[in-house]
Structure formats: C-alpha cells, structure tokens
Amino acid sequence: MSDREANRAATRRRMRRVLVDRGIDVVLMVFSLLMLLPLVFLVSNGFKTPQEMLAWPPTIIPANPTTDNFAAVLQDTPLLRWIFNSVVFAVLSTLAILATSSIAGYILAKFRYRSLNVIFALVLATAIVPFEVYMIPLYFQAQSLGILNSIWGLLLGYLVMSFGIFLIRQNVIHSIPDELLEAARIDGAGELWIFFRIVLPLLRGALGALGVLAFFQAWTAFAWPMIVATNREAYTIEVGLALFQTGFTVDLGRLSAASAIVLIPSITLFVILRRNFVQGVASTGLKE
C-alpha cells in the first residue's frame, strides 16, 4: 500500500521533471528560431521576385524562386572582388596575428626578465584602448606610406592583437612545463628549435582558437576599412555592401541577394569551426 504510494509519488516527480524539461526545450527552441529568423528571411528574400517580397505573410521558402537578384547584384557591383579583398585581408591578418602572438606570448610566459614585464604591461594597456580611439592617426600613417586603398592599408590596422598575446601567454603558462624546455636545452637544442618543434605543436589548440577569432575579427571589420578603402575596387565586402545599400534605387531583393552571398560561406565556415571559435571567445572571459 505505502509502497504503491511511494511509487506513485516517484512517478509524479519524474513526470514533473520531464514536463519541466520539455517546457524549457520549447522556450529555448522558440528563442533559437527567433534568433535565426532574420538570417533565414534574408537568404530567402534573396531568391524572391519583387512581387513576392511584398507578399504577406512573408514566405520562408519562396514560391517561385529566382536567381535574378543574384545576377543583377553581380552585374551592378564588383561583389566578387569585394569578397576577394575581404578574404585576402582576413587571411593575412590572421597569419600576422598568429605569428606575432605566438612568439611574443611564449617569450612573455617563459622568459622572466624585468624588461619583459614592462613590455607585457604596455601590451595590456593598449588592449584597453578601443581601435576607434586611435584609428584616425593610424589612417594618416597609412596615408604617408601610400597604402590607402590597398590590402596592405587594411592590414596595417590588423597586424597585431593584444588579446592574442595574452591568450597565448596564458596557454604557455598552463600547458608547457619549464622542465620540458630545460630538458631540451640540456640536450643541446637551440632556442629557435625549441620554439618551432616543442612550443608551437603544443599550442595547436590555442592557435586554432585564436586564428578563428582573428579571421572573423578582420572579416567583420567595418570602421577601419571604411576610412582606408575609398575606391570602389578596394572595398571589403562589409564596406561595399554598406555603401551599396545607401543608394535609393537599390531594392531589398538585390540587397538580400548580396547579403546572402556573403552570409552563406561565413555561416558555413563558422559551423565547421564552431569548437575553435567557442573556445577562443570563451577564453576572452577567462581573465585571471
């Protein structure tokens, strides 16, 4: 009798738990879909005819999909050129940031001299200052080098990343024991050999995270490319689209198509590199 009652109570508790779980799942699912909805509509609008753009309620899957918008946009704008600029800029920036961060992070983690502490403090101090604060003087530096309107000009603002140095330094401290380096030195290994053959391979995970972070940082850069690239051929995709959309004659279908061309590859890339990315972004919050 009491056994059965206890059983029933347990069942009721389990039922409640399942109900709560399902309820939370519903809330999260609805919220997730709402977050994605603007992007879904953007892509779908790219395939719509002007008549369907006006239809209410808006369709998620276009009734008679057309690629006219894409063709028009590719004809109106050097969109592929802009994408090319963005990709080259982002890749070069990533390589530069990986190179400078890995070597500087390693040195600052494992070589303890007072002069290096001063350097580390300076690097940390510049990290607090937002890019927007000093981009105007930086612009004039690019100008005096004669590299405005070029990939090199874009790159000038994105060669180093304070956070990258910080991230690598933390990783070296936590994952590379001094004994390992000492043992290699006793075996007669040179400092460069140690860096390339021992340190870098051990930092693969951290460098992956930082790389993805750096790539997306350059890929989504806006204010700096906006002032450096004033010539239509030199725009990055962000600048190109932002200026393209200010024209009055441009319709939303074409804008959506252009946006979709940019979004689809970057979303794909993100989904592939999600783990690296999440790790990298999460580590921005781990300040000790």
The 3-state secondary structure of the chain, one letter per residue = CHHHHHHHHHHHHHHHHHHHHHHHHHHHHHHHHHHHHHHHHHHHHHCCCHHHHCCCCCCCCCCCCCCHHHHHHHHHCCHHHHHHHHHHHHHHHHHHHHHHHHHHHHHHHHCCCHHHHHHHHHHHHHHHCCHHHHHHHHHHHHHHHCCCCCHHHHHHCCCCCHHHHHHHHHHHHHHCCHHHHHHHHHCCCCHHHHHHHHHHHHCHHHHHHHHHHHHHHHHCCCHHHHHHCCCHHHCCHHHHHHHHCCCCCCCHHHHHHHHHHHHHHHHHHHHHCHHHHHHHHHHHCCCC
Q: Which is nearer to other proteins, 53 or 74 (CB)?
A: 53
189 near other proteins (CB under 8 A): no
129 near other proteins (CB under 8 A): yes
Binding mask 39-78 for other proteins (x = CB under 8 A): x-xx--x-------xx-xxx--------------------
- Residues numbered 154 to 183 that lie near other proteins (CB under 8 A) are 156-157, 159-160, 162, 165
CB of 1 to other proteins, least distance (A): 26
Q: Which is nearer to other proteins, 67 or 245 (CB)?
A: 245
User: Which residue in the set 35, 114, 144, 179 belongs to the binding site for other proteins (CB under 8 A)?
Assistant: 35
262 near other proteins (CB under 8 A): yes
Residue count, binding to other proteins (CB under 8 A): 95
CB of 129 to other proteins, least distance (A): 6
130 near other proteins (CB under 8 A): yes
